[in-house]
Amino acid sequence: MSKLILASASPRRAHLLGHLVSDFEVIAADVDETVKAMELPDALVSRLAALKAKAVYDLQETSSRRSIAVLGSDTVVAADDRILCKPTNFKDFHEMMSILSNSVHQVYTGVCLIHEKLQQSIVVKTEVYFSPISEMEIEDYWQTGEPQDKAGGYAIQGVGGKFVERIHGSYSAVVGLPLVETKNLLSEAGILNGS
């Protein structure tokens, strides 16, 4: 069986992948995550997931590449194709929450698996419905420290979950790794046996 490497620094992705496989290594990928002009969210996450997987795959010794598989992933939040990255300051965060409040937005998660020179990719789109968010709730949530390193400025699995009325799609994809689709990728590559 191939050794699996997760090309991500996200503890949330590592935790989710642990639901599928017990033995894997984590190596953070150092890639430029700058959004290209006119790039749509699904294209962005697909490109970045592949970049991360390839960057870590290329770090491995040539002789050992046949016995490894690298999984890369990326998640973005978008409102009407406007990509909402991690907030840079409170003003930026406030604008994001104002956009997301009392509306529906999309979360796109791309996953790429490189295994024996084969590259397979998927993109999962989930719709998230937010309740109205008051000015006080925006300020209080910022003070928790949770939004600062989260795409779209919130964590569905954390305090930010209190704003989510419902979702249509994959909960685990919103957290950072779509479990069903990732399981299928790993199974097709022979990395998960008996799945």
Across the range 132-152, mean pLDDT stands at 96
> How far apart are alpha carbons 53 and 114 in whole angstroms?
7
> How far apart are alpha carbons 112 and 116 in whole angstroms?
13
Domains of the chain: 3-188 (3.90.950.10)
Residues labelled catalytic: 74
> How far apart are alpha carbons 195 and 2 in whole angstroms?
16
| Number of neighbours of residue 114 by Cβ within 10 angstroms | 25
pLDDT at 63: 74
Strands 104-115 and 68-79: antiparallel
Across the range 146-165, mean pLDDT stands at 95
pLDDT at 193: 66
pLDDT at 18: 96
pLDDT over 70 (residue 61): yes
Across the range 10-34, mean pLDDT stands at 93
- The helix (run of H) or strand (run of E) holding residue 78 is strand 68-79
pLDDT at 20: 96
pLDDT over 80 (residue 151): yes
